[in-house]
Structure 1
Amino acid sequence: ESLHCDFCNNKPYKNKMKCIVNLFLLLMFIPDSDIPMMEGDILIHPRGRSAINCVSCLWPKSADGTVLIPYNLSSGYSDLFQNSLQEFHTLTCIRFVPRTTEKDFISILSTGGICASFIGRIGGEQQVYLDSGSCMSRGTIQHELEHNVHRRQSRSDRDDFVTIMTQFISPDKIGNFDKMDTNNVGLEYDYGSVMHYPGNAFSNTSGQATIVPKPNPSIPIGQRIGLSPLDVSKINRLYQCDDSGLLLNSANGTVTSANYPSTYPNNSTSVWLIRTPSGQVSLQFIAFDVQFSTDCVSDYIKIFDGPSKASPVLLDRTCGMGLIPQLISSTSQMLIEFVSDTSITATGFKATYTSVQCGGAFYAPGKNFTSPGYPAAYSPNMNCIWKITAPAGYKISLTLHDFMMESAPNCIYDSLSIYDGADTSSVLMVKYCGTKSARTFNSTGNAMMLNFISDKSFQYKGFLASFKWNLPGFCLLQ
């Protein structure tokens, strides 16, 4: 009964009929539908194990230092699910791997609009309910998976950091705020954890918070954007992970190599995952000095367009001195890898990052790219810039394969401008709008810039483009 009430009252159903339908689906598709729940989404095993402060409930560590959590995945999940797993893999020693013959594993199911899971490893098959519609945000996926890693959202020292407003909580919900004997691994309270309740959790009064931070009530709590830096630190400390990445999750910031501006250490590998709250990541280097070697086989920096080393490469191995052109990811995630060998070092690098609405900065031999949303209509009031940079001595060949924008005299509304250089002070090659057939443009130098602008009125599908580097006197790179 309490399980069913939680599902009904913890989701914004507009009528009871929808709730009843979901309860029916729950009873039809969840074999253990009589399992009670606590804290809104934590399933309690019939044997009574809730893995609160339980060392035996941790998943075992492999000889290579990784912690393997096998999983079965039902159909209907998008790429967002795998993207959410990759952040665990990049930042911690946790590895979610497809199950083969393992006895203990998690079974990820999509059913009934439910987001719920057990705490830690309970033995055998354990269900994780992630509805492929209502639970599909990165933060919600990671929240439920982190429960399985052995993380709770009710700390034993909670009252030192928040006030629970019991007057706005119904008696049948007050149990969701019970304090537990948790293992806090010596790290501070995290208002920004992906595990934290929102401020109005289980409130029975519109506009009234049930959780108020101390000493500043305006501190934001309860985000579902994704793992926080402290979420990462707590997982790594709980499982004693050796090497891990650093998460940078603010809208803007700075990243530097170790010891900068002093020399970085020998024989080290560092990774930084930048994840802005929205938009795309723009990375601009302020200083760059890394030991030079042929093909950068010794020390190097490498940058990926996504959360893992399996993501597309934005910048391949780079070393030496001089500034790297601006880089813009295609999503809100960018991964930086920095590697040094056992010999010579240098001062390393310093870069700043920020969130941008759209665009790109490419330092690669070739790539396809599109206006935002293509082939669906682009959004109104956009101003996007793409910068393409080739090595000195190369030129750039840009092809517009498909093009459709609002048409107007002098393209005064929506337009795409192409410049023969790195910025708007360069020669304007063309300013396009309307519908155009395929056409190729060749730069006179090693840089090209595109500026796409839309106004508030009509929107069309935009453009599909590609580019390749061209070394004069040789064929185009394939």
Structure 2
Amino acid sequence: MALVLKVVILAVLLRGTLGFPVLMVRGGGEGRRWIYLPFHSQAEDDKMIFNKILRLNRDSPQKLSEGDIALRFSRSAWNCPGNNCYWPKSSDGTIHVPYTFSLVYSVDDRAAITTAMQEFATMTCIRFIPRMAESNYLQFTSSPKSGCWSYIGMVGGVQALNLEQEGCLESGIIQHELFHALGFIHENNRSDRDTFIQIQWQYISERDQYNFKRQTDSNNLGLPYDYNSLMHMGRYSYTNTSGMATIVPIPDPDIFIGQRYGLSNLDVAKINKLYKCNLCRTLLSDPSGRFSFNASLPLWSGGSCLWLMRIPSEQVLLKFNTFYIQSSPGCFSNYLAVYDGDSMASPVLLARTCALRKDISVVASSYKMLVEFSSDGSNATSYFSASYSSVICGGTLTSSKGVVTSPNFPSEYPPSTDCTWAINAPLGYKIYLSMNSFQLEDSTDCAYDYLTISASDDPLRKYCGYYGMLPLLFSGTSLTLKFHSDEVLQFRGFNATYCFRHLN
């Protein structure tokens, strides 16, 4: 016990000085195992969006506060007297923010910016629109070594929002600067921050300390402090001592802070509350999770709800554990749909569907997937629960007939691979799948390489080994195929064809 205590003390000391996770052993004999002490290294922190912005802004000629906020000469960069720095609401209930592009931006540059805008349009009532004749608008500008920066809120007239072509056209950076332009400060400088974080002033040079000035009159909107906000500085931002943090969460110093990808769910809530967007929107950005909905709840009175899954990497796999959407002709009154991206203009993975469904899975082609539930409020008997995670390959097969094969078929499939394919028939149809070729590593209970097939009308089946002329036939309104290979012994894999047939 004394030895373990000494190891722990040594590990903690190393944690504070070496800048990398410490590996230590726990237990003894066959029960021992290696564990990592929790640690947030400066190298990982450097990947945070805000710290990328800091590096890009080192040589910017623009006078900046807090790293990327352009200062105004007429008044403070942060105050918003009379709420006159917010963009006005249009007659259609949305917030129009007009913009123009500098001529230096290429077609790809412009596409990167407008793509980053899409999450705002999907999850809030903000609409970034190309300027027609509006007098107040954003002008995206860029020049060499100019950095990434924005003013806070609507300034009036032509308002520069600078995104240097070399480095600033990353989605999270673009969204960070757009967030400033909508009127938001950095989360770590809001008025109540001292309850949630401790500023380590001893590791901040005197010339940089003004960047951590707490805003005593910030509008926190009655929402919780968000360690995961796109607008939060990193743990080591502005540190003058390598490996020593400038921001430490309290009371738990191991809480992760900062963002590497984009908006958090609370970021979405802030925009919708500040601009009075009466919307049902949820952003899910953890690597995996669960969510559910019940239209019979007292607060639900009809309309639409959206859930955007934006996981860190790979492809989104969504599985509905329960699913009942009140039926109507053509699923007109109540329906659920799933899209392969972050907008309802993205390709459809699951077309409007209703009624009772079982074993529905959907796989996106990327790390984003959008779920839409819509109801006219005429009948509120609808509910579902779902879980999501990631896969490295697979997809959703939406054509009325097609082919699905293991990776590289008819060559050997790769080692250490997990793929998932989902096939969901439209209402009134059934899927018929035939296995034409099948050769996987054989083992007891298919423990190494295998294919599982789950059908809405049949229990889960698991296959491995070799099937020659023996036909494998499957049917159901939904089919999910999951392929797994371990690190050794690869074979040809499988080839299957499917089609939809009308139940009549």
**What TM-score bracket applies, with the shorter chain setting the length?**
0.7 to 0.9
Q: For 2:273 and 2:312, how far apart are their aligned partners in 1?
A: 25
1:169 positional shift: 0.9
In the alignment, the residues of structure 2 paired with residue 86 and residue 56 of structure 1 have an alpha-carbon distance, to the nearest angstrom, of: 25
TM-score for the superposition, normalised by structure 1: 0.76
* Match of residue 138, structure 1, among 168, 171, 176: 171
Report the CA distance between 1:136 and its aligned residue.
Answer: 3.6
Which residue does the alignment assign to 2:222? 186
1:119 aligns with 2:119: no
Q: Which range is displaced more, 48-57 or 75-84?
A: 75-84
Compared CA separation, residues 109 and 359, structure 1 to 2 (3 A): farther
Q: Residues 337-348 of structure 1: matches in 2 within 5 Å? A: 337-348=372-383
The residue identity in structure 2 corresponding to 1:42 is I
CA distance in 2, matches of 1:365, 1:142: 39
Amino acid at match of 1:96: F
Change (3 A) 1:283 1:421: closer
Q: TM-score, normalised by structure 2?
A: 0.72
Mark the CA change 1:369 to 1:179 in structure 2 (over 3 Å): closer, same or farther: farther
> 1:11 maps to what in 2?
55
**Letter of the structure 2 residue corresponding to residue 310 of structure 1:** A
Equivalent positions of 1:153-192 (< 5 A) are 153=186, 154-180=189-215, 181-192=217-228
Task: Find the partner of 2:66 among 34, 39, 54.
Answer: 39
Counterpart of 1:67 in structure 2 is: 95
Is 1:241 aligned to 2:274, yes or no?
A: no
Q: 1:44 to 1:345 in 2, by over 3 A?
A: same
Matches within 5 A, 1:206-225: 206-225=242-261
CA distance in 2, matches of 1:298, 1:80: 36
Matches within 5 A, 1:24-423: 33=61, 35-54=62-81, 55-73=83-101, 74-75=105-106, 76-77=108-109, 79-112=111-144, 114-153=147-186, 154-180=189-215, 181-258=217-294, 265-323=300-358, 325-363=360-398, 365=400, 381-391=416-426, 394-395=430-431
Q: Secondary structure at the match of 1:146?
A: helix
Contact 2:394 2:421 (C-alpha < 8 Å) held by counterparts: yes
Amino acid of the structure 1 residue aligned with 2:113: F
Contact 1:419 1:448 in 2 (8 A): no
CA offsets per residue over residues 257-307 of structure 1, 9 Å max, x none? 2356x6994533211222223332221112222211221111111111111
Deviation string 1:314-361 (CA, Å, 9 cap, x unpaired) is 111111112252111122222111112242331421222223333223
- Residue of structure 2 in register with 1:403 after alignment: none
- Please say if residues 51 and 237 of structure 2, whose CA atoms lie closer than 8 Å, have aligned partners that are also in contact: no
Q: Which amino acid aligns with 2:152?
A: I
Distance 2:127 2:53 in 1: 34
CA distance in 1, matches of 2:400, 2:93: 37
1:435 counterpart residue number: none
How big is each residue's C-alpha offset from its partner over 1:226-282, in whole Å with a ceiling of 9 and x where there is no partner? 11121111111111112241222222222222356x699453321122222333222
- Matched to 1:64, the amino acid is D
Q: Which residue identity lines up with residue 87 of structure 2 in the other structure?
A: W
Percentage of matched positions with identical amino acids: 37
**How far did 1:142 drift?**
1.1
SS across alignment from 1:10: helix
Cα distance in 2 between the residues matched to 1:132 and 1:50: 25
> Is the deviation greater in 381-390 or in 112-121?
381-390
Q: 1:469 to 1:71 in 2, by over 3 A?
A: farther
What stretches of structure 2 of length at least 5 have no aligned partner?
1-49, 443-448
Q: Distance in 2 between matches of 1:227 and 1:386?
A: 29
Q: Note the aligned Cα RMSD (angstroms).
A: 4.2
Shift of 1:188: 2.1
Call closer, same or farther: CA 1:36–1:368 in 2, change over 3 Å: farther
The CA deviation at 1:200 is: 0.3
The one-letter code sitting in structure 1 at the alignment partner of 2:313 is: S
Q: CA deviation at 1:383?
A: 2.1
Unaligned 5+ runs, structure 1: 1-5, 14-18, 27-32, 401-407, 432-440
* 2:20 paired residue number: none
Identify if the C-alpha distance between structure 1 residues 424 and 293 changes in structure 2 by more than 3 Å, giving closer, same or farther: closer
Check conservation: 1:51, 1:57, Cα contact below 8 A. Answer: no
The Cα shift of 1:430 comes to 9.1
Answer yes or no: is the 8 Å Cα contact 1:393–1:445 preserved in 2.
Answer: no
What amino acid is the match of 1:119?
A: I
Residue 472 of structure 1: how far off its partner (Å): 8.0
* Greater shift in the superposed pair: 78-87 or 225-234: 78-87
Deviation at 1:367, TM superposition (A): 8.2
CA distance 1:410–1:284, change in 2 (3 Å): closer
Q: Deviations over 1:87-134 (max 9, x none)?
A: 111111111111222221112234435221111111122222223442
C-alpha contact 2:453 2:482 (8 A) present in aligned 1: no
- Residue type at the aligned position of 1:295: G
What is the distance in 1 between the residues matched to 2:53 and 2:394? 42
Q: Structure 1 residue 70: deviation in Å?
A: 1.0
Residue 214 of structure 2 aligns to which amino acid in structure 1? K
Q: Deviations over 1:197-251 (max 9, x none)?
A: 0010000111000011111111111113211121111111111112241222222
Matched residues in 1 for 2:440 and 2:481: separation? 20
Q: Deviations over 1:177-198 (max 9, x none)?
A: 1122321122221111110000
The alignment partner of 1:81 has SS state of: helix
Q: CA deviation at 1:83?
A: 3.3
> What is the aligned partner in structure 2 of residue 404 from structure 1?
none
Distance (whole Å) between structure 2 residues aligned to residue 470 and residue 450 of structure 1: 16
